[in-house]
Chain A
Amino acid sequence: MKRRRFFILAGLSTGLLILPPALYISAPPLRKFAVRLIYKELNYLKLEPNGVEKYVDDFFNSSINNMLVNLKWKTFYYLRVSPTQSTQVYDLIKYYLLSTDFFIYKTDETRMINYLGLYNPYKSPIPNPYSFQIYPPKKESK
């Protein structure tokens, strides 16, 4: 809490995306590994391709450059590191999904997934994927 910078929760205490240092990436060619990771992990979904690349750019542009970590991303991809094994990969995929309309359309796998802009609860139309805004209460039958 400020859950703002107060609550240290998944590095998201400000409500804006604060990336863990290990996600810093600078050299654009290396970003393709992050793009590939997203496609690999979400191979069962139809991802709008420009959106994935834009997301990866936005994701990494939101933090500072760090060459060593870039190299780590290549390793993640080639060693087939999965989100359960790495919080960095988990965060990359998680924020991708939160940055799209996937949850807003109730996790419908048949639809094309569109990127809406880097996840920011102050800007996302419906930031909480669990909420009653997406799953309104059923009317009680009388």
Chain B
Amino acid sequence: MKYDYYDLIVVGTGFASTFFLKKYLEKNKATKRILVLDRGQFFPHAERLKVKQGEPSDFSHMEEPWEDAIINENKAKRWPFTLGFGGCSNCWWGCTPRFMPSDFKMNTLFGVEKDWPLDYDALDAYYYEAEELMSISGPEDTPFPRKGKYPLPPHTFTAVDKILNQTYGNKYISQPSARASRPTKGRNACFAKSTCDVCPVDAKFTVENSQMRIYENEQIELVFGAQVFSLETAGNQIKKVLYVKDGKDFEITGEVIVLGANPIFNSNILLNAGDTNRFTGKGFGEQLGMQVLIYLNNMKNTGGSTWVNANGYMLYDGEHRKDYAACLIETNNAPYYIRLERGKWLNMASFRMLFEDLPLDENFIKPSANKLIPRVSFTKRSDYTMKGIENMKKKLPGILSCLPVEQLKYLDPFPNEGHIIGGTRMGRSASDSVVDKNMIHHQYRNLFILGAGSFTTFSASNPTLTLSALSLYSADHSF
């Protein structure tokens, strides 16, 4: 460490921390001492690609399996994440729809859970900014309010997408995505390799290829291999960040502390620090995803992009959300779903159905005997979500009546979505939440807790664009 005191200490280098730092650096003209601690290392894209291609890489040992980083009590449920520089930007798939305005007002509109303490309009400018920073490809007409073009044009539609778009207009769109449809700053155009986690042509936005140049800023001292496990409090202030490096315990003092670990580790750090907020660690979970295979008669589903191609909103918004979950349709043209009957090989579409879930108290993070390893207890899906699945099965045949459907096959829900949410929910006061709308802890006013842990309700949409916009919003309103 260069200093024994920092103006800002940030934990993690994923989306949440990076977008927060982007705005913080923009707003702070004075020279600051900024320390960034990441538990992992820098594992460059080129080396990740070698590993994927079966070639040797000196970096391969740097991958810390998520299974070793937590105690997962429910083995049927999985919580994959990538640790190290850039966090899950190294493995995400780049699906970046905005939330719908209704997602922020679940109580007012549907009598479900709580409203967020901020609404879509408050986030709108930050959505644009995040979309610009990630060079999102997307269509002009969207179901959520948005003016003008995305930074890059949309990916091409398949034959199936075209019919659904003609039938449902802006309720069926080319998916807004951080997979570049054209070459852009530091990235190539998507080649439809269908391996988006480590994109072979580096078309997907990652912190590494972002060109945001945050971690090159000379005010920032970035320390790898520093695993934060707790905070030292003094009254209503956080004084120190406690971490382990090379097997030894360390502590460092900071004026403002920012947790951007991920919802599981953010909760663990807070609970280890003795946070007594009754919501900390609670209401943890993620959306439920399941696949529907759509067998088509006399129709090839060709012409699309890599794997996830479009989004359907036909089962998303409406009065039904008083009783059951919104469902976002992600249209897939994965290579692995082909048919073998003669002449019908490509007569297949498939939908990944994403259902929102509710922040239930039964699902929680708690510390274990090992301060570094949180316990994840996920036991329950809400009835709200399960009813959403039943409704979807009733409605889908009608929705697809514009297509020559031979047969629908519903597969079992996936064990994970990769969309870890909750544990430090956002609200108006400590009586209903952990953080306020700027993601500052209600009690510890020099502590920010970023990321999807702060979502008041889950939404059916992929979380990362929204959590990145929230980081920009938070830094903009706090400094």
Give every chain B residue within 8 A of A126 (Cβ-Cβ). Answer: 192
Q: Which A residues lie within 8 Å of B158 (CB)?
A: 130
Q: Check A6–B80 contact: CB distance below 8 A.
A: yes
Which residues of chain A have a CB within 8 Å of any CB of chain B? 1-10, 12, 14-16, 41, 44, 83-84, 90, 93-94, 97-98, 103, 107, 120-123, 126-137
> Which B residues are CB-close (under 8 A) to A10?
336-337
- Max chain B Cβ within 10 angstroms of own Cβ: one of A97, A133, A135: A135
Asked if A128 contacts B198 (CB within 8 A), the reply is no
Nearest chain-B residue to A44 (Cβ)? B342
Chain A nearest CB, measured from B411 CB (Å) = 9
**Contact between B91 and A129 (Cβ–Cβ < 8 Å)?**
no
Assess the A94–B338 pair: CB atoms within 8 A.
yes
Contact B192 A128 (CB under 8 A): yes
B340 near A41 (CB under 8 angstroms)?
Answer: yes
Once A94-B338, A129-B335 are accepted as A-B contacts, the answer to whether A122 and B193 lie under 8 Å apart by CB is yes
Instruction: Fill in one digit per residue for B398-427: 1 if any A CB lies within 8 Å of its CB, else 0.
Output: 000000000000000011111000000000
> Chain A residues near B336 (CB, 8 Å)?
9-10, 12, 94
Cβ–Cβ contact A130 & B346, under 8 A: yes
Asked whether any CB of chain A lies closer than 8 Å to the CB of B227, the reply is no
Q: Specify which of A2, A90, A126, A127 lies most central, judged by the most chain B CB atoms within 10 Å of its CB.
A: A2
Residue pairs across A and B with Cβ atoms less than 8 A apart, 9 shown, are: A6-B80, A8-B414, A15-B52, A122-B54, A129-B346, A130-B301, A131-B304, A132-B304, A135-B302
How far apart are B179's CB and chain A's nearest CB, in angstroms? Answer: 12
A137 x B414 contact (CB < 8 A) = no
Contacts of A8 in B (CB 8 A): 414-415
> What is the total number of residues of chain B having a CB less than 8 Å from a CB of chain A?
45
A23 → B minimal CB distance (Å): 15
Q: Which of A44, A122, A130 contacts B333 (CB 8 A)?
A: A130
Dominant SS among interface residues on chain A: loop
Determine whether the beta carbon of B303 is less than 8 Å from that of A135. yes
Does residue B196 face the partner (Cβ distance < 8 Å to A)? yes
Establish whether residues A128 and B53, one from each chain, have CB atoms under 8 Å apart when the complex forms. Answer: no
> B192 touches which one: A6, A84, A123, A132 (CB < 8 A)?
A132
The answer to whether A3 touches B338 (Cβ under 8 A) is no
Is residue B451 contacting chain A, with contact meaning CB distance below 8 A? no
> B416 contacts A1, CB within 8 Å?
yes
Closest residue of B by beta carbon distance from A137: B156
User: What's the Cα separation between A28 and B109 when bound, in Å?
Assistant: 65
Quick one: which of A1, A5, A41, A121 contacts B335, CB cutoff 8 A?
A121
Contact partners of A2 in chain B: CB under 8 A: 80, 82, 91, 197
Asked if residues B156 and A132 are in contact (CB atoms below 8 Å), the reply is yes
Selected from B49, B300, B335, the residue in CB contact (under 8 A) with A98 is B335
Q: How far is the CA of A93 from the CA of B345 in the complex (A)?
A: 12
Chain B residue contacts of A127, Cβ below 8 A: 192-195, 335
**A122 and B302 contact, Cβ closer than 8 Å, known pairs A128-B194, A128-B307, A128-B335:** no
Min CB distance, A83 to chain B, in Å? Answer: 5
- Which residues in window 146-183 of B have CB below 8 A to A? 156, 158
Contact A7 B414 (CB under 8 A): yes
| CB atoms of B303 and A15 under 8 A apart | no
Question: B305 an interface residue at 8 Å Cβ cutoff?
Answer: yes
Report the separation of the CA atoms of residues A130 and B52 in the bound assembly, to the nearest whole angstrom. 22
Q: Does B93 contact A (CB under 8 A)?
A: yes
A15 to B49, CA, bound (A): 12
Does A90 lie within 8 Å of B340, measured CB to CB?
yes
Chain B residues with CB under 8 Å of A128's CB are 192-194, 306-307, 333-335
State the Cβ distance, B74 to closest chain A Cβ, in Å: 16
A142, chain B: closest CB distance, angstroms: 18
Instruction: Give Cα A121–Cα B192 distance, bound, in whole angstroms.
Output: 10
Residues of the A chain whose Cβ atoms lie less than 8 Å from the Cβ of B340 = 41, 83-84, 90, 93-94, 97
Instruction: Please indicate the chain A residues that have their CB under 8 angstroms from the CB of B114 in the complex.
Output: none
Q: Could you say which of B305, B342, B416 contacts A131, with CB atoms under 8 Å apart?
A: B305
